[in-house]
Amino acid sequence: MKNKWACLAIACLAALLLSLDLTVLHLALPRLVTELGANATQLLWIGDIYGFALAGLLVTMGNVGDRIGRKRLLLIGAAAFGVASVVTAYAPNAELLIAARALLGVAGATIMPSTLSIIRNVFTDPGERTAAIGIWSGMSAVGFAVGPVVGGVLLDHFWWGSVFLINVPIMLLIVVAGVLVLPESRNPHAGRIDLLSAALSFAGVVAVVYTIKEVAHKGIGHADVLVAGVVGIVLLWMFVRRQRRLAEPLIDVRLFARRAFSASILTNLLAIFAMSSTMLMFAWYLQLVLGWSPLQSGLAQLPGGLCSAVSGMAATKLIHRIGRNGVVALGVALTGCSFLFYTTLTLELNYLVLLPAMAIGGAGVGFAFTVNNDNVLATAPKERAGAAAAVSETSFELGAALGIAILGTVLNSAYRANLELPAGVSAEAARESLAGAVGVAQALPSEQAGALLRAAQTAFLEGMHLTSAVTAAMLAVVAVLAFVGLRGVPKVISDETPVRV
């Protein structure tokens, strides 16, 4: 296909925007309190509702794309995302903002699996397909790094809603270019979507993600958290049972019997679980410990995203040398090494010392996620590429939620355990988090404020060291699992390759 690289550019632009949109909101949250009067509960829903809608609908929307056409679904989703972005930017109150963020999540769920499934159908050459997925993965990583940069620049000059208006011209470009360039593809033999399966999938995933997030906020002992967790597990169990009996299931559970598919999904989930603490740790470390601006912090993290994109493109050649299991294991191990370096960070830092670790970690992410995503898409039937992509994306969402909840708890617990408040300071907010301590310090005399900040930064650094060490150990285990679990998967997986291992 002559325009396949143009198709990739459109898919990458959509992936870049979605990942960027996940990060710019965090910078705007403080302004939502003052300008919209959002309370603590509303802030949580503003931040979480997007992820709930996105994670819950990925599987359903992946199947919708397989049935009505991936191009059509991508264009519908892009248009809806642009409209929802305008509503979000001009929301007059917190309630409408929450509703608009939910709509953004629904639209995002149509876009994410569509981009990957389009790549799967456009790139028929195995080597080009792997390289294309590598570029796509790298652009997602760049988006996460660029988010704070773009958000910082906009918030320095405009109101909080400007961070959402940047979506509109980009989505308009995607729609226009998509109409002209993208080919249509669908499953010619797909039946109707089983609505009960869709409901079970949505409710089960949302309940599980809600449980994970609430455990991080409240702990596991609350009745509503326990009920939501049990309900989510039961609904997902019912979903899996139903898929086994349907002629046209939303997820062909037989795919999990293929080692290349199941091991890649598991490796992705565990890897993103371990690495999800990175964004949280570095946002606070660079800004609240080192005192960098959001713009400086975002720029500092760009090399990692760029290295991820480059290594993703290089993964194809490396597969032929050390195999798919070797590339994934190497990528996870490299990322683990970067976390080992983070255990040595101090209250004062020369950026040139940090740069190699970020570059190594970014390269590792590019290797691992490129090959795993390629494994998932290549081993699933081409006509069910949307459903396969949705499973892969759902594993990312669950892994990220688990990582933030569990490793975020490790970080906060270590912070509280190591915090020694100076004499005369007993504010509970300072014990809750480093950000809370910074807020308390602003109202104290300069001498006490300096002592509190130093104590809080030191305690946070201790927590960061512990979390990084735990993450490095987890990634070492994941590297071994990937090397063993993906052993025997062919180096080249084409549509004619029967991947049964």
Condensed to tens digits (0 to 9), the pLDDT of residues 286-337 reads: 878 888 876 777 778 778 878 887 888 888 889 888 988 999 999 999 999 9
What is the predicted pLDDT for the residue at 327?
92
Alpha carbons within 13 angstroms on the beta-carbon side of residue 40 total: 1
Of 100 and 427, the structure prediction assigns the larger pLDDT to: 100
Domains 1-187 and 254-501 share a fold: yes
Kind and range of the H or E run holding 206:
helix 195-218
What is the predicted pLDDT for the residue at 30?
62
b/e 140-176 (16+ beta carbons within 10 angstroms → b): bbbbbbbbbbbbbebbeeeebbbbbbbbeebbeebbe
Task: Round the average pLDDT of the chain to a whole number and report it.
Answer: 82
Which of 189, 134, 125 lies closest to 497, judged by CA? Answer: 125
Kind and range of the H or E run holding 130:
helix 126-157
What is the predicted pLDDT for the residue at 81?
92
Please count the other Cβ atoms lying within 10 Å of the Cβ belonging to residue 127. 14
DSSP code string of 332-372: HHHHHHHHHHHTT--SS--HHHHHHHHHHHHHHHHHHHHHH
Of 271 and 32, the structure prediction assigns the larger pLDDT to: 271
First to last CA, the chain: 31
What letter would DSSP give residue 433? -
Q: What's the rounded Cα separation, in Å, for the pair 348 and 279?
A: 19
Listed by start position, the domains of the chain span: 1-187, 194-249, 254-501
Instruction: Give me the residue label for tokens 């710019």.
Output: 24
Mean pLDDT over 19-29 rounds to 70
* Burial of 346 per CB tally in 10 Å (0-12, 13-18, 19+): exposed
Please count the other Cβ atoms lying within 10 Å of the Cβ belonging to residue 241. 11
186 phi and psi, to 5 degrees?
-160, 170
Instruction: Give me the residue label for tokens 């629904």.
Output: 106
pLDDT digits (tens, 9 = 90+) for 215-242: 766 666 677 778 888 999 999 999 989 9
Pull the structure tokens for residue 133: 């997925």
Of 424 and 456, the structure prediction assigns the larger pLDDT to: 456
Q: What's the rounded Cα separation, in Å, for the pair 399 and 274?
A: 8
Q: Among 22-26, 100-104, 476-480, 488-492, which is the least confidently predicted range?
A: 22-26
Decide yes or no: CATH 1.20.1250.20 for domain 1-187: yes
Of 86 and 25, the structure prediction assigns the larger pLDDT to: 86
Most confident of 164-168, 170-174, 352-356, 448-452: 170-174
CATH of region 254-501: 1.20.1250.20
State percent of the chain over pLDDT 70: 91
Pull the structure tokens for residue 254: 């037989």
Cα–Cα separations (whole angstroms), residue 441 to 29, 101, 417: 20, 33, 19
Percent of residues in the chain assigned helix, strand, coil, to nearest 5: 80, 0, 20
Q: CB under 8 Å to 223, separation ≥6 — which residues?
A: none
Q: What's the rounded Cα separation, in Å, for the pair 173 and 468?
A: 40
pLDDT class for 280, splitting at 50, 70, 90?
low
Say whether pLDDT at 496 is over 70: no
* Crossing angle between the packed helical segments 351-379 and 126-157, to the nearest 10 degrees: 130
What is the predicted pLDDT for the residue at 219?
65
Q: What's the rounded Cα separation, in Å, for the pair 64 and 68?
A: 6
Pull the structure tokens for residue 274: 């371990």
Amino acid of residue 125: D
Instruction: Give me the residue label for tokens 């290295």.
Output: 307
Mean pLDDT over 17-38 rounds to 70
What is the predicted pLDDT for the residue at 80?
93
Mean pLDDT over 424-441 rounds to 75
Mean pLDDT over 487-500 rounds to 66
pTM: 0.83
State percent of the chain over pLDDT 90: 13
Mean pLDDT over 268-285 rounds to 77
What is the predicted pLDDT for the residue at 75?
93
pLDDT digits (tens, 9 = 90+) for 443-464: 778 888 888 888 888 989 999 9
